Amino acid sequence: MAEKVILEYLNSNGKIEDSGVFSASVGLDHKEIVNTIRSLSGFQLVAAEDIKKENWVLSKEGESYCELGSPEFQVFLAVPPGPEGISLLELKKKCGPELFKIGSSAAIKNKWIQIGKEKVLRKAEDVSDQLKELLLKIKDGLDVEQTDITNLKRRKLIELKTWIGYSVSKGAQFALERKKLVTDLTRGHLQSGDWENLEFKEYNVNAKVTLDGGHLHPLLKVREQFRNIFIEMGFEEMPTNNYVESSFWNFDSLFQPQQHPARDSHDTFFLNEPSATQSLPEDYVEKVKSIHESGGYGSKGYGYDWKREEANKNVLRTHTTAVSARMLYQLAQGPFTPKRYFSIDRVFRNEAVDRTHLAEFHQIEGVVCDRGLTLGDLMGVLRDFFERLGMKNLRFKPTYNPYTEPSMEIYSYHEGFKKWVEVGNSGMFRPEMLRPMGLPEDVTCIAWGLSLERPTMILYGIDNIRDLFGPKVDIALIKRNPICRLGINY
C-alpha cells in the first residue's frame, strides 16, 4: 500500500520533500512510510536523504492538560459561579488533593478565584485557559515563544524528541513496481518462459562464511582407497554389519579348537546378554563337531569332546574371517561359482592398550575361492594387491593359523624405515574348514588379512594409535590430515 503510494507520487511529482508532511497528506502512518522508503532505497528504486528535526512534544502530563484543561482551569471550573461558592473542604474533595495543590495557587494568582474564611468564590466570569492553548500549539507543531518553552520544560509538560524522516526522489532503478529478484533458476521458470525477464539477486562474494565443515577421518580415507583397489581387482564386499558373532562362526567353523588360548576371556570379549546364539545351521554344526572330534577328509581332527555350549557363546568378533566363513558356507549351499570377496571392518580383542594396540581396530581381508588354487596363486594375488599400495618388494615367512595351511606372514621392504616390516597374514583355508561346508573337493581358497590402522599410521606419520582412534583422538590431526595417497610405500 505505502509502496504503491510513494512510487506513484514520485512518478507524477518527482520528489517527496518531507516524509512527515507526505505521510500526513496521504493519511498513512509515518513509521510505515519510513520503513517502506528504507526498503525501496535498498533496491535503489528511490534515493532518500535523511531529515533530522528536533521537536518539542507533550509529556504525559502535558497531554492530560490538553484534554482536561490546565490544573488552574480545572480548579476554577470546580468552583460554582454565584455568591454561594463552595467550602474549601468541599473544593479540595471535589478536585482531589493533588490537583488542588497544583491548580489553586495559579487560579488565585490569575485572579480567577478567591479563597475566603468561609468559602471559595469565583472572581472572574469568563477565563481563557492559556496553558492549554499553549500546549495545543506545541502539539500542532506551531511556533511558540522561547520563554514559554523554558517554562513548560521546567514544569515537565513538554520534552525534546528527535524526529527522523526523509526527502525522497527517484532512484537509479526507479520503476512503478518492485521487481522480485530471484536467487535460483527453477524448472518452473524454464517451463513458464519466465526466465527471459528474470532479474537475479547478486551474489555477495564478500559475505563471511565458515569453511570449517566436517572432516573425513584418516581411517575412512584409507579404507576408501583399499576398497577401490579391491573393486578394481574384481572383489565383492562382504556384509560385515554384525559386531556380535557366535563362537561357532568366529572359531569353530574355522577349525579353531575349543581349548585354543585365543578363545580365552583374556583375549576375547564374551557377551553377558545375550550370552548365547539362538540358531546355527544344525547339519553343518554336526559336521564341524565331527571334524573337530574325529577328523575326516584325510585329517585326524583334534580328538577332544566338542561342546555345543562353547560354540553357542556370543563374542565380539575377533576377526572378519568369521564373516568369510559365513560367506563360504553360503557359497557352498548352491552350485559352485568362483568368488572374490573382501571386507574392511571393525574387530575386537581383549588386549592391553598401548602405542600400537587398541581393543578395537579394523581388519582388511581378501578371499579368493576357486577350483585348483595353489600357494602360487596366493603369492601372485598378494604381489598384485600390495604392488597397488606401492610395495613391490615382498617376502613371505611361514607361520601358523588354525584355519590356514600353509600360512604366511607377509613382509615388505620399507624404503623410509630401511627395514622389512610385517604388512599382513595369509594362507590357504584348510580342507577341515572348507569340506564340512560342502564345497567341492577340488575347490581351494586363498585368503589374507591386514589391519587398516597400520598403513594409516604409516601414511599419516602417526606413531601413537591413540591419537588416531578412540577417546583420546587428536581432533586437530583429524582436521588437518591431507588426502590419502596410496602407491609409494603405502
Residues at the contact surface with ligand PHE, assessed by CB under 6 A: 319, 321, 365, 401, 404, 425-427, 447-449
Q: Which three cell numbers stand for residue 141?
A: 507543531
User: Is the peptide bond preceding residue 281 cis, with omega within 30 degrees of 0?
Assistant: no
Phi-psi map region of 71: left, alpha, beta (phi>0 left; psi -120 to 50 alpha): alpha
Nearer to ligand PHE, 92 or 319 (CB): 319
Nearer to ligand PHE, 107 or 382 (CB): 382
Min. distance of Cβ 488 from ligand PHE in angstroms?
25
Q: Is 104:167 a contact under the CB 8 Å cutoff?
A: no
Nearer to ligand PHE, 255 or 448 (CB): 448
Min. distance of Cβ 448 from ligand PHE in angstroms?
5
Q: Among candidates 181, 143, 168, 155, which has minimal Cα distance to 10?
A: 168
Min. distance of Cβ 269 from ligand PHE in angstroms?
15
Nearer to ligand PHE, 22 or 448 (CB): 448
Nearer to ligand PHE, 71 or 449 (CB): 449
Nearest residue to ligand PHE, using CB?
449
Nearer to ligand PHE, 152 or 368 (CB): 368
Q: Is 320:255 a contact under the CB 8 Å cutoff?
A: no
Min. distance of Cβ 335 from ligand PHE in angstroms?
25
Nearer to ligand PHE, 250 or 481 (CB): 250
Nearer to ligand PHE, 135 or 428 (CB): 428
Min. distance of Cβ 366 from ligand PHE in angstroms?
8
Q: Which residues of 4-22 are buried (b: 16+ CB within 10 A; e: fewer)?
A: ebbbebbeeeeebeebbeb
Using the structure block, give the residue that is written with the C-alpha cell 495559579.
106
Min. distance of Cβ 319 from ligand PHE in angstroms?
4
Min. distance of Cβ 203 from ligand PHE in angstroms?
54
DSSP state of 277: -
Min. distance of Cβ 255 from ligand PHE in angstroms?
12
* Ordered alpha helix ranges (H), 27-126: 30-42, 60-68, 71-78, 88-95, 97-109
Using the structure block, give the residue that is written with the C-alpha cell 511558540.
144
Min. distance of Cβ 215 from ligand PHE in angstroms?
30
Angstrom distances, CA of residue 267 to CA of 207, 316, 350, 351: 56, 11, 5, 6
Nearer to ligand PHE, 101 or 397 (CB): 397
Min. distance of Cβ 468 from ligand PHE in angstroms?
19
Q: Is 292:286 a contact under the CB 8 Å cutoff?
A: no
Taking the CA atoms of residue 367, residue 369, residue 375 and residue 377 in that order, the dihedral angle to the nearest 10 degrees is -90
Q: Among candidates 430, 425, 478, 464, which has minimal Cα distance to 448?
A: 425
Nearer to ligand PHE, 33 or 447 (CB): 447
Q: What is the C-alpha separation between 458 and 415, in angstroms, rounded?
A: 12
Q: Among candidates 382, 449, 388, 456, which has minimal Cα distance to 222?
A: 456
As beta bridge partners, residue 339 has 369
Q: Phi/psi of residue 429, each to 5°?
A: -60, 135
